[in-house]
Structures are given as structure tokens and as C-alpha cells.
Structure 1
């Protein structure tokens, strides 16, 4: 709920909240045999916290996306607040 309130305000969720959420999630039984992070860790502090918690990663995959493609993807995002649906003006128009 704390992270949702921050996101709903348009602010970035701080490392402490993100780290706590991730640690809580990977402690769940369905993560016992492994898990996949998407976009985590995003900061050195997040990576250091996972290391300090003893989280071991077997593999890391980095996808290199050209800057222009990132701008196009981010710039085309739209959302419908009433329904919560998300769209993209080119890839998934409303």
C-alpha cells in the first residue's frame, strides 16, 4: 500500500520500499525454486541490499535497447485512469 500511494502521487518509490517488497516476495513458497526479476535491481543500493540478504543470482540477462527506441516506447505510453488499462499510441492503441 505504501508503494501504491507513492506511485499514485507520481513520485518514484524509494529503495527502502522496493527492497522490502522484493525481499517479502521472494520469501514466498512459489519462489523457492527460483524467480525472475524484471527491472530489478535498478540502483546500486538495491543490488547491495540483495547481496547483504544473501540472494544469489544464477544468471543475468541485459537487453541493450537504443536510446531512440526507449524514447519512442516511453513517449507513446497512455493510460485510462478509470479502467486502469494501459496503451501505446503505436504498439497498442486505445
Structure 2
């Protein structure tokens, strides 16, 4: 299975994200618009998010430093609502 996933990543049909602690996230890349991720540090829930203000700001910050962005990834970590309701603390 993992050989197939690696082949899909090499071909550009999937993306691979090293989440740390031995966890790898794979998701399809073909015809899948750019998005960022919210990730719960307790249960591992992942939610895709899109925010045009953040996207514009990232381009502005790169340009201010003389960069032209070709791609980026943003992962925001915290506690999801379900874990917070259970009284779990980060």
C-alpha cells in the first residue's frame, strides 16, 4: 500500500505531509484546490480550511522579502471542539 502511495505522490496525484511523531498525512492532489489544515493535537482530527485574507497576506510577506511563492503549506495545531468539551487541555 505504501509503495502505491509513494508512486501517487511522485506522479503528482497525491500529496504527502510529515506530521511528526511518525505520522504521515496523504491526500489527493489532482483537481484539489489549495487549502490549509487545522489539526487537533489530542485526537488527530484534521479539518481543511481556506481563508483568502491569509492567502493574500502570505503573498505580501513573501514579496516584501523578495520572494515569489510557488507553493506553501500551513498547519495550525490546537484542540478541536470535541476534545475541549471533554475537558482535555493542551
**TM (normalized to structure 1)?**
0.25
Which structure ranks higher in relative contact order (CA pairs < 8 Å, sequence separation ≥ 6)?
A: 2
**Bigger strand fraction:** 2
Pick the structure with more helix per residue. Answer: 1
